[in-house]
Structure 1
Amino acid sequence: MSKIVFFDIDGTLLDDDKNLPSSTKAAVKALQKNGIYTAIATGRGPFMVTQVINELDIDSYVAFNGQFVVFEKEVIYKNPFNPTELKRFASEANKRNHPLVYMSEKTLKGNVEKDKRIADSMASLQLVHPDVDPDYYVKEDIYQTLLYAKEDEEEYLSAFEDIYTFIRWHKEAMDVVPKGGSKAEGIKILIERLGFKMEDVYAFGDGLNDIEMLKTVGTGVAMGNAHEAVKIHADIVTERVENNGIAVGLKKVGLLDDSFEII
């Protein structure tokens, strides 16, 4: 295998209704048949990607925006939070009524009950409000935290910029990961294990958490439905996910030839 393609999930492989277009599945299968390695790069946790990786026969992925890397079903990298620092951060967030959701390898837990902000963001992922366990971060390794705060409520986060990276994905929610964490860093770890050079790496994405990935890989492809701030960092912009965006993009970069018919 001489090339590898990383796919984001939400808004890239899956449309707004969390459906996998038939053209996308066919395109990924065609890549695999042609000897091109396929992998996932997502902000989701391992427990949230099972259906997608099973349907697409993908065994390697970067999860939690680079904090958890799996190579052919084997975990090869973990970068959890420091619990003491996370406790301090949670204290500051709680003072401002900014809920948190803690994400481990196994599941996710909220630190408050029945919060509309959490419920709304979870609904956008077709998930329900998580169970509550304010002390979950001391019981399990946490790789990513969701913080619920609006853009005009972020000022205090500057005090934590030396230890955390903040990536907004919803009007009232953002991902929080250890400083410097990104899909790009996870990709570097995985391709080193596989022996690929960065110029032979392709990536498809649509969200703000995909920017670093698209800038780092040899060829970055933004979906037509991507945030405008994402498109400017891509080498190529393809169609929207529901308009055969993956298949069209793979043709544009030359990984699928004219023999592949988009149905």
Structure 2
Amino acid sequence: MTHKIIALDLDGTLLRSDNTISDYTVDTLKKIAKLGHQIVIVTGRPYRMSIKPYKRLGLGGPMINFNGALTHIPETSWTGELNVKIDKNYLFEVLENYDAFETDFLASEYQKNFYITMENRQLIPPEIFGVNHITDDMRLIPEKITRDPNALLMQTRAHDKYLLADQIQEHFQNGIEVDSWGGPLNILEFSPKGVNKAFALKHLLERLRKDKQDLIAFGDEHNDTEMLSFAGTGYAMKNASKALLPYADNQTKYSNEEDGVARQLAKLFL
């Protein structure tokens, strides 16, 4: 059997709603990895928010963060690393349209740190930034933004985050990518133009000398559309957004709360 690259989104896909991974899923994925298949986390989350599931699965290879803006091997120097940035001027313009975009908070994300607006500090869940507490030194003020970020992360109170994403892209004349996170939070993520999960996976497959027909991908949200379209086989989760279904080859029988990824992979490989 040809060894596969298995690309897994986190929120709403591999992770349950409490951000955990079941023992069954861990054991199943480790068995599949022992067969020679490579499991790759592909997420909108930054590195610091995805290292815990990465380590829980016992992974040692590449991981993709920021919806494709960062491809790397955690804590390792790797010649295949790809680190793409978004022009910081987009951040300044989002700040100028803060109220028009119905923003709760906006974060400027980097590989190792972030800055965040704090007008609604009580609405910021520290865990989605991989920290225990939001502290004053994390406050986003324009004077701190001297480097281009990997991504911008915004929580909005808009009723329809998909419509807002389209409106923001139109505002910026499609000069950037705006996608939604899976899971219960009303989160939008801004990425550099042309950068998405498929962009990063294409780079990774070239480094690994694999064909996209060797790629199996699982996702649940709008930011997984390119990945599922690109993969040789793309699975939308049972709980997936309806916006994703046209891009998937199949849909899992079980949701993220029911170990849907592991059950489907066990059916394929074990």
Same fold? TM cut 0.5: yes
Verify the 8 A CA contact 1:6 1:38 in the aligned structure 2.
Answer: yes
Match of 1:24 in 2: 25
1:61 Cα deviation after fit: 1.0
Query: Which runs of structure 2 are paired with 1:184-263 in the superposition (5 Å)?
Result: 184-238=198-252, 239-252=254-267, 254=268, 256-257=269-270
Query: Which runs of structure 2 are paired with 1:1-263 in the superposition (5 Å)?
Result: 2-58=3-59, 59-71=61-73, 73=76, 74=78, 76-93=81-98, 98=103, 99-115=105-121, 118-119=123-124, 129=134, 131-135=138-142, 138-149=145-156, 150=158, 151=160, 155=167, 157-169=169-181, 172-238=186-252, 239-252=254-267, 254=268, 256-257=269-270
1:171 Cα deviation after fit: 6.5
Moved over 6 A (4+): 123-127
Give secondary structure in 2 for the equivalent of 1:229: coil
- Aligned pair count reads 253
With structure 2 as the length reference, what TM-score do the two structures score? 0.83
Task: Provide the rounded CA distance (Å) in 2 between the counterparts of 1:156 and 1:50.
Answer: 30
Verify the 8 A CA contact 2:92 2:142 in the aligned structure 1.
Answer: no
AA at the equivalent of 2:82: Y
Task: Provide the rounded CA distance (Å) in 2 between the counterparts of 1:124 and 1:103.
Answer: 12
Verify the 8 A CA contact 1:102 1:144 in the aligned structure 2.
Answer: yes
Give secondary structure in 1 for the equivalent of 2:243: helix
Verify the 8 A CA contact 1:182 1:209 in the aligned structure 2.
Answer: yes
Task: Provide the rounded CA distance (Å) in 1 between the counterparts of 2:62 and 2:113.
Answer: 19
1:198 Cα deviation after fit: 0.4
Task: Provide the rounded CA distance (Å) in 1 between the counterparts of 2:218 and 2:242.
Answer: 15
Verify the 8 A CA contact 1:221 1:249 in the aligned structure 2.
Answer: no
Give secondary structure in 2 for the equivalent of 1:232: helix
Mark the CA change 1:83 to 1:92 in structure 2 (over 3 Å): closer, same or farther. same
Structure 1 segments unaligned to the other structure (5+ residues): 258-263
Task: Provide the rounded CA distance (Å) in 2 between the counterparts of 1:124 and 1:47.
Answer: 9
Task: Provide the rounded CA distance (Å) in 2 between the counterparts of 1:156 and 1:39.
Answer: 30
1:126-146 CA-partner distances (Å, limit 9, x unpaired)? 866573122376244411112
Give secondary structure in 2 for the equivalent of 1:176: strand
Verify the 8 A CA contact 1:24 1:247 in the aligned structure 2.
Answer: yes
AA at the equivalent of 1:240: S
> Among the aligned pairs, what percent are the same residue?
26
1:123 Cα deviation after fit: 6.4
Give secondary structure in 2 for the equivalent of 1:185: helix
Task: Provide the rounded CA distance (Å) in 2 between the counterparts of 1:105 and 1:221.
Answer: 29
**Greater shift after overlay, 191-200 or 204-213?**
204-213
**Greater shift after overlay, 85-94 or 221-230?**
85-94
AA at the equivalent of 2:230: T
1:35 Cα deviation after fit: 0.5
Mark the CA change 1:14 to 1:171 in structure 2 (over 3 Å): closer, same or farther. closer
Aligned residues: CA RMSD: 2.6
